[in-house]
Amino acid sequence: MAMVRSGIVGVALALLTSGVNAAIDSDQTAISAAQAADMIIAVVVKGDEASVRPLSIYWKDSNGQPLDFSDAPYVGDSLTKALTHNLLRHFSSDDEPDHARKEQAVATFAHAVASAVRRSACHTTGGTVTPYAEPHLGASATVTYECLVPDAAKVILPLDFPNDSSITVGQLIQEATALDAAPAEKRISATMKLQTTADGKTWGSPAMGGVLATVLDGIAGALAPGSKRP
């Protein structure tokens, strides 16, 4: 799973381009940058309807309609599918001639990674707001947040998908089972950039993929090539 930096986190970094910017013409009562960040983080980490709905209403589109996150890679089962696709491209083991069984093993491992994301608990811890020099441009904010995430480095061995052709189906399933049992007790912290619309009512950020990358890196970043288990 040293693949995490080169592959799994790569999926998350690719999602940066799919981030949703703040809506225009929102008539919502202004909320703080930290509150907006908490909503964004909840969508990325939990990805369920209860988490998605508040942000979809807050981030209305230009027609005043709630945004549709249903196809976003960080919502529901979409993360598992995205990770499965990415892992299959690198899984080169000849251990299992049955391609369907190999696909199932990769999907099981990807589901374990996605489940680890969902078990993480994140919240904002503070932040600063900086008005732009020209008031009509609104303001920017830097919000800090922290998460408790499962620590994969304590339960599974490094797997180097791009370079190791000896990874077996059995090994992948075994490591998925171990990851599923890892408690969310590793503390990580990061920052998020936000900015307002010109009317100052809506905070937005294109960094949803960045939050996902941070959480995934926290879960398994210690398993980069050359790293050692504690």
> Looking at the predicted structure, is the pLDDT value of residue 2 above 70?
no
Residue 219 lies in a domain: yes
What confidence score (pLDDT) does residue 43 get?
92
Residue 228 lies in a domain: no
pLDDT, tens digit, for every residue of 40-99?
A: 999 999 988 889 999 998 988 778 888 888 888 888 888 888 888 877 776 655 555 677
Residue 36 lies in a domain: yes
pLDDT, tens digit, for every residue of 105-136?
A: 889 989 999 999 999 999 999 999 998 888 77
Which residue type, as a one-letter code, is found at position 71? D
What the block records as the tokens of 21 is 């910017």
User: Which DSSP string corresponds to 86-152?
Assistant: HHHHH----S---HHHHHHHHHHHHHHHHHHHHH-EEEEEEEEEEE-SSGGG-EEEEEEEEEEEE-G
Confidence of residue 10 (pLDDT cuts 50, 70, 90): very low
What domain count does the chain have? Answer: 1
> Looking at the predicted structure, is the pLDDT value of residue 22 above 60?
no
**Partners of 103 in beta bridges:** none
| 70 to 53, 66, 75, 192: CA distances (angstroms) | 10, 12, 7, 23
Residue 53 lies in a domain: yes
Tell me the average pLDDT of the chain: 78
What confidence score (pLDDT) does residue 97 get?
62
Higher pLDDT, 115 or 28: 115
Residue 109 lies in a domain: yes
What confidence score (pLDDT) does residue 132 get?
85
What the block records as the tokens of 120 is 């993480």
What confidence score (pLDDT) does residue 92 get?
54
What confidence score (pLDDT) does residue 140 get?
92
Whether 69 contacts 43, CB under 8 Å: yes
> Looking at the predicted structure, is the pLDDT value of residue 186 above 90?
yes
Higher pLDDT, 1 or 105: 105
Strand ranges across the sheet with 184-196: 121-131, 139-150, 184-196, 203-204
Residue 70 to residue 58: CA distance in whole angstroms: 16
Residue 191 lies in a domain: yes
Q: Which domain holds residue 68?
A: 3-223
Residue 119 to residue 135: CA distance in whole angstroms: 41
Residue 230 lies in a domain: no
Residue 137: phi and psi, rounded to 5, are -85, -5
pLDDT, tens digit, for every residue of 86-102?
A: 777 766 555 556 778 88
What confidence score (pLDDT) does residue 95 get?
53
What confidence score (pLDDT) does residue 194 get?
94
